[in-house]
Every structure is written in C-alpha cells, then in structure tokens.
Structure 1
Amino acid sequence: MKFTYSSGSRPLEGYTVKRGIGQGGFGEVYYALSDGGKEVALKLVRSNLDIELRGMAQCLNLKHPHLVALYDIKKDSQGDSWVVMEYVAGEGLGAVLNRHPRGLPLDLTRQWFVSMAKAIGYLHDNGIVHRDLKPGNIFIENGLIKIGDYGLSKFISGSQRSAHTQSVGTVHYMAPEIASGNYGKQIDIYAAGIILYEMLTGRVPFDGETAGEILMKHMTAAPDLSKLPAGYAEIVGQALAKDPKLRFASFGDMARAVEQVGGGAPVEVRVAPAAPPQQKPRKAEVPEALPVHISLRTRIAELSGSMVLAATLALLMAIIWAALERTIGSPGDLADFGAGLYLMILSSWCVLLPSKFWEQRRGDSWLRRGILMFLGLGVGLAAAWLNGWSFDLNATPLESPSLAAATLAELGHENPMAAHIFGYLSYFGLAFFILRWWKLTERTRARRFSVFPVVVTACLGFLLVPLWPDFTGHEVPFLLQGPMVLTLCSVIVQLVSPWEEPAPRPARRLRMRYA
C-alpha cells in the first residue's frame, strides 16, 4: 500500500516517521519516533474530521493498562490533524483467531476476555461507548491485551476483512438495535458476546454473503450455542439477547460470570520485559498445543499426494540401488529390483496411512505401535511372497537357516516354509513396532528431513538381520534387502510428508497479576 509520507519524513514537529502501518477510511497510521526516542503511532485524520477529533478529545485523559493510550492531538504546517498515540507492536486478536480457526484454549480465552471487559467497563464508567468492538481493534503485546480505536466514529464493514462505509459499527459485531439508531452501552455488551463466541469456537455466530443478510440474522436469528464449551452458553446467550434490557447490565457482571466458569481464580496476564523496537509485529503468545485444524478432505488430499510422491521416490531410489549394485559388480536380476521397489512403496504407505490420521491427535503410543506392527506383518507377508513363499509349506528347504528357523526348530516346528514366512514376519513386525514411525511424518517436526532417525532405522535394520531368511542361489545376498528397505522408507516418509516450520520459542516469560 502507498502512504503519503515515507520513512524519514517529519510531517509533525518533534516526530520522525519510520514506516506506514495502516490505512483506512479515517486516513493513515504511521510508526514514528519522537525526538527523544519514544515509540509512538501517528494517526493522520482525513475523513469526518470534526466527529473523529471530538471523540478522541474525550479520551485523551483516560488511563487504563488495557487501553491504547492517546497522548495528544496536533496540527501540522499544512493544517492536517494528527493524533499521537501509544504504539502497540503486537498483532491483533483477529490475526490470532485466523491462525486458530477452532478457537483458543479456555484459560487463555478467559484471561484475554476479562482483560478486555475491564477496559471497556472503564470506558463505560467514563461515559464512552466504544461502538466498534471487534478482534481487529484488540491487540496482544507480550500477552497483554490492549483495546484501540475507542471513542471514534466507525463505519460498517461488509465482511470481516473488507470495508464498505455504510453506518456505525462492523456488521459481524453489530447489535440489532443499531438499525433503529440506538447506540447505548449495550451495543458493546452484544459485540463482546460475539467476540467471546468467536474466541471459543473460531467463528462468528452470524455470517452471510452480504451485509444485509448478516444484519437480518442479528435481528431475527438465534445463535447456535451448542458449539460452546460447558458453562459459556448461558453467558453468550444473555450477551446476545435481542432485547438490550435482557443483556448483562455491565461489563463487570459479564466479566464475573466468565471468571466463575473458570473457577473464580485470579486472572493472570503474561507480560514480558521491555524490548527494543521491532520492524515486524510480535505475535501473541498462544500455547503451542493449538495447531491449525486440518479437515478430513485436506488430510485425504495430502495423503494421496504423499503416497504418489512416495512411489515416485521409491522408484528413483530403487534405480540408484540397482546402479550401485551393478557398479560394485554384483548386479541383481529384475525380480530382485521389483521386490525391493515394491517393499519400499508398501512400507512407506503403511507408515503414511495411519500417521496422517493420527496427526494433531493425542493417542496411546503402545496402541499405535501395535497397529504399525500389524501393518509390518503385512509387509512381511509381501516380502515372503516376493522372495519365494508358496502355499506349499513343505516346499523350498532352507539351506542356510535363519534365527527364525532355528527358533521354530526349538519350538518343535521344523517346517522349512513356515520358518521362511516367520523370518519375514518377525523382521518387519518388530521393525514397525520398535520405532515411532509417525514422528517422522508430523508436520510440526523440528526439520523437514533429519538424518538421525535414518541412522537409527538403519542400525535397527542391521540388528534384526539374524531374523532375515538367507536363501542361496542369489548373486546379491538378500541380507541387505531388509535394512535397505527400512532405511530408505525412513527417508521417503520424511521427504513426502507436509512440514511447517515451528514458531520460535520466547526466551522467557514473566507473570504479573492484575486485580
């Protein structure tokens, strides 16, 4: 976006513009430094000048820890009006909710909402109605809630991300009585109920294709309260009552109701030590256990893509494997090539399939290991069939018996084909049981590809080699087939699984209690 003033400009005496940070129907907002080095936001007011300035003048002397402070109103040499206000480096609540479409954790929702309620209650106590309460005007800086754009004239927004100037308020958060010209304190209570609903569920209760459709729902439709956690339905329902007289009498009453749902404990708000200026907004400290929800359709699409890529990579690695064998002078036949390729593809798919549906879900590690072992037994059956298994259990005697054959002999089972099958089953079954394969496919893993799990898999593959049936008659010993399949499988599943770079952890956190 193009701003009137560039970095280094001094449109207002005593302040140097560093960059533009926002534009709208009201004018422009800049991040600036005073001559003494103080960070401020400079708001250039260009529309509805008298109404804007009158509203801001009423708020100049308000002081509250959860309100963006207004410092002064000034005019420049060209007669333009500027508002000097506190610069908040954090992001808006709207941005946080966009990243977490299933809503925020209950304890965090409670903390932030009570802080917001105290700030708006303070405005009401001073005779000021916010009139445009929405996530876009709520900021989080180092865990501390800040309410901005209070006491100003507002314009309706036809959607949550676009601005169509029609009337006072923002349509998704607009109380039904505004249509009849009623702008009392209860419109903020109603907007707060919408915000609480959105914080808990990740979506607004009334939505539609047009502003008119949404407004009609505000006036006639009942919100779906069944999606709310226990204890919150009554609170939100009262805040969203169509009749203003049925809503909470004050923000204090609403805040106490929310606190009681959380057990009535003191609300803790996280704050951090002062930090040097940053060019980019600092993201709100939302717990890591809040992944973005992935729909079933998206999971299936990602799984399909991963499986196709896994087959492609397996073919490429099988070709490289065959080329290396030929280079060292022990080329395998086409059947060996096909067996290795098939086992790589099957092993990769057996890891990708369950892991995709375990993603972002907590589960019993031993149950997952058991499921993978069952799939590993299937891979073992495939390996046995590819390498000589037949339904005639008396066929193909073992000239060089494996540990599996010896074990069966000790148990009184000397059938050669049974030992052949048991060797493959035990090899892949144990390999799939011992390792936590699903960790290699998590989208929140530390790196897209890590060498360490590949090395661990290779070591395990060689440790289990005594279980692998060793048939004579092959120019290339089959002893390497099992370890190679497992090792390359651990490479493939990492490369084909979606990955998101994890957010950096904050260095430290301090806690402060507010009454």
Structure 2
Amino acid sequence: MSRAQIAPPAPSGPARSVPPPPSRPLPPPPVVGPSTRLVDLAAPEQPLSPHDPRSVGEYTLTGRLGSGGMGTVYLGHRAGTHGVVAIKVLAPHLLDDVDARTRFLREGQTLQKVTGDYTARVHGVGFDGSMPYIVMERLDGPSLHAFVAASGAVTDGEMLTRTAIALARALAALHADGITHRDLKPGNVLLTSAGPKVVDFGIARVVGQTHHTPAGNMVGTPGYMAPEQVTGNGALPATDVWAWACCVVFAARGDHLFDGDNILDIARRILDGPGAEAFGAVHRLSPRLVPVLRRATAQDASDRPRDGAALLRLLDRSGATSAVGHAGWDRLVGGGVR
C-alpha cells in the first residue's frame, strides 16, 4: 500500500490540507442556528498567497478555495464575463510526475463525460505552459463531512432520506455514464443549493480507460472501502453502493461506520461487516432505509445492488422514496440546517 493510493478517513474534495497562512484574517466560522443556510457553511474564499499565480490561461485568479496534495483550487473569472469559476491546478512539484499529471488530466476528462446534474460541470481542460488545469463550475455549500462537523449528525429523518435518495441518483447517473467513483465519502459529497454533488474523480475508473493500479493494491479511503477494495480485487459500481451506505450512516451517526486505530484495524472491521447496532441511528430517523443499507453492505458485491440504478429501485421498493413529502431539499437550503 502506498500513501499515494490510500488516505486516512478525513475530509477531502477540493480542500485536503491546511493552506499557507493568509495575508489577512479569515472571517470567523458561522454560528450554526435555526436560520443557518447551507451556503453559509461553505468553505470561505481565502486570499492568494505571495506564491500563488495571479492568472491561469485566460482566467484571472481572485482567491483560493482549497489546497491539497495534488494541487490547489482557485476562484477565477475570464475577462468580459461576469460569472466566477473554480480552477483546479496541479501542484508545481508534481509537474514532472508523469503518473500525477496523467491522473490529474484523467479527472478532467472523466468529469467531461458526466451528463447528470450531480457533479460540477467542467468548462474545459487546458495547459498554462506545462501546468495543466481544469475549469469547473463553482459549487456552493459544505461537504457532508463539514456539515456534520459544524452542526452534528442529521436529526431530521426526511433530510436523511432525501440525502440518501439524491446521492443514489448521483451514482445512477455516474454508473450510466460508465464511471465508477471508487472514493465516495462524506468529504467528496457537497451539499449545494441545487442538491448533493459528487466531487473528486482523481481515482475514478471509466469504462474503456486503461488504468495502471498494480494488482493487490488498495485504492480509496480506508473507512469507506468495500471488501473487494480492501483485498485488492478492484472496484465496480457495487463498490460505490457500499460507500453510499457508509455515507448515509455517517450522516445519521456523525461518525464512520468502520473506524479503527490504524489501516489494518479498519480493514479487519470492514471484512467483519457492520455490527448489530450499526444502523441504529438510521433506524430511529428513517427505518425504511435500514433494509437497503443492509443489502448495500453485503460482503459479496454480487449480493448488493449492482449499481446506482438498482439501488434506486431498491429504495423505491422499500418505501423510502414515498416516505418523504414535497418539502424537500429547498427547505434545508432556505434555512435551518437542523
């Protein structure tokens, strides 16, 4: 297992590490209350550091949205336009790393293949000299991980159910486009004003693409890996279904379904399967989700819903879909994160 292929169960997506000290103080985090909106919990724009570029291609950069091991995401705009975009730039120290450049460009190409409304729209992939970059729609709202960190576990059954259904729809769209995410987790699910969006496709697998992951290596985030990832036997759409279940449980409990002191401990718990009380918090909020979660966390991938579309059908048969009313996502966005 190499550190480039596996990461601890921590928030990811556009922001993966602590950025350099800003040149001016950042605003304090919002006080979470009954009038808090999702957009209020989004990561604030950070000022550019002295080492940051001021432009990329045709875009003028105005701030940072986040930074991580693979690169930095900036906020920018193009002359003559009024909208802002997110621009992901490969880290300078990786410019000569062929594998890193290939993975970075593959992410942009993968996102361009997605036809659903559940990811950031990609406006283009280009180069500024030798530096590759991806121009994407800027998404508002926090990640599921950040939301739970700010406001605690979800306590509204309808919100939990709608989040589960929306995320299943996202997987159905991705799988219909031949894409297996392979690293679905709360840090890679953004709760935007338009609904949940799946981000970070750096290790996604696309039908027809050639990948070079050595046999027997784990790829993903330990706490959200399916058994077949833990044993190094690859990933398929049913692998994302397992991760979907882990995300739903995280939302309801506020902690990881599979956790441990180290990677080996987490892997052992995954191979043992969910404990007797694993879905207790979900049962208290939305009991119709529980049978679906049990199927989604079957040890054998062939016993799970085979993809997002099959997961949606199972949610419908369970009655979970009909259990939610007409006041849905917009109620959460409009005010009252709890």
TM over 0.5: yes
Kindly indicate whether residue 336 of structure 2 is the aligned counterpart of residue 287 of structure 1.
yes
Q: Please, which runs of 5 or more residues in structure 1 have no aligned partner?
A: 155-165, 273-282, 291-515
Q: What residue in structure 1 maps to residue 175 of structure 2?
A: 124
Offset of 1:171 from its aligned partner? 1.1
Does the Cα contact within 8 Å between 2:165 and 2:321 map onto a contact in 1?
no
Deviations 1:7-50 (A, max 9, x none): 89543132111111211121111111222122111101244111
Any idea what SS the aligned residue of 1:117 has?
Answer: helix
Kindly indicate whether residue 310 of structure 2 is the aligned counterpart of residue 253 of structure 1.
yes
Q: 1:95 to 1:284 in 2, by over 3 A?
A: farther
Q: What residue in structure 1 maps to residue 20 of structure 2?
A: 2
Offset of 1:268 from its aligned partner? 5.5
Q: What residue in structure 2 maps to residue 76 of structure 1?
A: 128
Offset of 1:243 from its aligned partner? 0.6
User: Which of the residues 12, 22, 25 maps onto 2:69?
Assistant: 25
Does the Cα contact within 8 Å between 2:62 and 2:75 map onto a contact in 1?
yes
Q: 1:261 to 1:172 in 2, by over 3 A?
A: same
Kindly indicate whether residue 248 of structure 2 is the aligned counterpart of residue 201 of structure 1.
no
Deviations 1:73-124 (A, max 9, x none): 11003x1000111111211111111234343411111212212211221111
Number of equivalenced pairs: 266
CA distance in 1, matches of 2:329, 2:224: 27
User: Which of the residues 126, 131, 137 maps onto 1:86?
Assistant: 137
Any idea what SS the aligned residue of 2:55 has?
Answer: coil
CA distance in 2, matches of 1:70, 1:250: 24
Offset of 1:213 from its aligned partner? 0.8
Percent sequence identity is: 22
Q: What residue in structure 2 maps to residue 491 of structure 1?
A: none
Q: 1:65 to 1:222 in 2, by over 3 A?
A: closer
Q: What residue in structure 1 maps to residue 3 of structure 2?
A: none
Does the Cα contact within 8 Å between 2:168 and 2:308 map onto a contact in 1?
yes
Amino acid at match of 2:154: G
CA distance in 2, matches of 1:269, 1:207: 31
Does the Cα contact within 8 Å between 1:9 and 1:16 map onto a contact in 2?
no
Q: Which has the higher contact order (CA 8 A, sep 6+)?
A: 2
Q: 1:100 to 1:2 in 2, by over 3 A?
A: closer
Q: 1:176 to 1:198 in 2, by over 3 A?
A: same
Does the Cα contact within 8 Å between 2:159 and 2:328 map onto a contact in 1?
no
Q: 1:102 to 1:247 in 2, by over 3 A?
A: same
Amino acid at match of 1:96: F
Q: What residue in structure 2 maps to residue 39 of structure 1?
A: 84
User: Which of the residues 255, 259, 263 maps onto 2:322?
Assistant: 263
User: Which of the residues 116, 126, 130 maps onto 1:64?
Assistant: 116
User: Which of the residues 114, 126, 143 maps onto 2:165?
Assistant: 114
Q: Mean Cα displacement is larger for which, 44-53 or 125-134?
A: 44-53
User: Which of the residues 153, 160, 174 maps onto 2:203?
Assistant: 153
Q: What residue in structure 1 maps to residue 27 of structure 2?
A: none
Q: 1:226 to 1:147 in 2, by over 3 A?
A: closer
CA distance in 1, matches of 2:109, 2:150: 35
Q: Please, which runs of 5 or more residues in structure 2 have no aligned partner?
A: 1-18, 22-46, 95-99, 205-216
Q: 1:167 to 1:28 in 2, by over 3 A?
A: farther
Any idea what SS the aligned residue of 1:58 has?
Answer: helix
Higher Cα Rg, which structure: 1
CA distance in 1, matches of 2:296, 2:334: 28
Amino acid at match of 1:65: D
Any idea what SS the aligned residue of 1:91 has?
Answer: coil
Does the Cα contact within 8 Å between 1:70 and 1:83 map onto a contact in 2?
yes
Does the Cα contact within 8 Å between 1:90 and 1:284 map onto a contact in 2?
no
Does the Cα contact within 8 Å between 2:59 and 2:78 map onto a contact in 1?
yes
Offset of 1:263 from its aligned partner? 2.8
Please provide the CA RMSD for this pair.
Answer: 2.7
Q: 1:264 to 1:251 in 2, by over 3 A?
A: farther
Amino acid at match of 2:320: V
CA distance in 2, matches of 1:211, 1:54: 27
Q: What residue in structure 2 maps to residue 241 of structure 1?
A: 298
Q: Relative to total residues, which structure has the larger strand share, 1 or 2?
A: 2
Offset of 1:269 from its aligned partner? 4.6
Offset of 1:182 from its aligned partner? 1.3
Deviations 1:284-322 (A, max 9, x none): 55636x3xxxxxxxxxxxxxxxxxxxxxxxxxxxxxxxx
Deviations 1:354-395 (A, max 9, x none): xxxxxxxxxxxxxxxxxxxxxxxxxxxxxxxxxxxxxxxxxx
Amino acid at match of 1:38: G
Q: Relative to total residues, which structure has the larger helix share, 1 or 2?
A: 1
Offset of 1:52 from its aligned partner? 2.5
Q: 1:248 to 1:208 in 2, by over 3 A?
A: same
Does the Cα contact within 8 Å between 1:139 and 1:145 map onto a contact in 2?
yes
Does the Cα contact within 8 Å between 1:97 and 1:104 map onto a contact in 2?
no
Does the Cα contact within 8 Å between 1:17 and 1:33 map onto a contact in 2?
yes
Q: What residue in structure 1 maps to residue 40 of structure 2?
A: none
Offset of 1:132 from its aligned partner? 1.1
Offset of 1:143 from its aligned partner? 5.5
Does the Cα contact within 8 Å between 1:52 and 1:153 map onto a contact in 2?
no
Does the Cα contact within 8 Å between 1:130 and 1:188 map onto a contact in 2?
yes
